[in-house]
Amino acid sequence: MRIGQEAIDRFNKSISRHPLAVEAAAPGGHLKREPQGIAEDARADLPALSESAKRKLAVQWDTIRDKQKLTDQDLVGYDLGRQWLLGMLPKSRQGMNLGGLNIGHTFEDRTRAAGWLGLDLSVKAAEGRFGATDGEYWWRWCCMGAPYESYADWLETFKRETVAELKAIWAGRSAASDKWFEATCKPAIEKGRAFGCMPACW
């Protein structure tokens, strides 16, 4: 699974530079504790964004999807490619996209390729989306003078929402892609832990 692993490793490296991770690693750090579950009303604790900030995040998300080739048209192609690789389609279809992968010659090769298809792009898109959301809220938290623990809870909310957004763009295209997201893509994203890009204002 080398294709997705590079992005996952980048996640782990970048989170170690996040100010919250630095604080947790320091002697007496406030965040050195076991991960906790996310409350259902966690978003209610976040400061409200202005309509312009919401539009900015929406535009950034569209840009990220375009850059990572995860538009709706791209996703349709990857889904058809995954179904074909897994033998669910008898022949290739118009618009099918194999993402430039070397699919090999055996069924085992094609099964592995079906797992890789769209994985690295999705992990990178999650990284970008999480970083954009983090950056939008970071300065608001700085102005509030709230403790580090409160922002750690916000980060967990951002993480949950980022995974949900990636799931939403893949969901319902086929049983093959639904199963792939839950079994392969979602764990790959979550393995990056807090997804962490350090905010630009730090």
pLDDT in 10s for each residue of the chain, 202 residues: 344 455 445 544 544 444 444 443 344 443 333 333 344 455 657 888 999 999 999 999 999 999 999 999 999 999 999 999 999 998 888 889 998 888 888 989 999 999 999 999 999 999 999 999 999 998 888 888 888 888 888 888 999 999 999 999 999 999 999 999 999 999 999 986 445 443 433 4
Burial of 114 (0-12, 13-18, 19+ CB in 10 A): buried
Rounded Cα gap, residues 171 and 186, in angstroms: 12
Query: Which letter does DSSP use for residue 44 in this model?
Result: G
Tell how many helices (H) and how many strands (E) occur in the chain: 9, 0
Predicted confidence at residue 42, as pLDDT, reads 52
Predicted confidence at residue 194, as pLDDT, reads 40
Predicted confidence at residue 72, as pLDDT, reads 97
Rounded Cα gap, residues 151 and 117, in angstroms: 34
Q: Which amino acid is at 146?
A: A
Predicted confidence at residue 148, as pLDDT, reads 83
Predicted confidence at residue 150, as pLDDT, reads 86
pTM score > 0.75 for this model? no
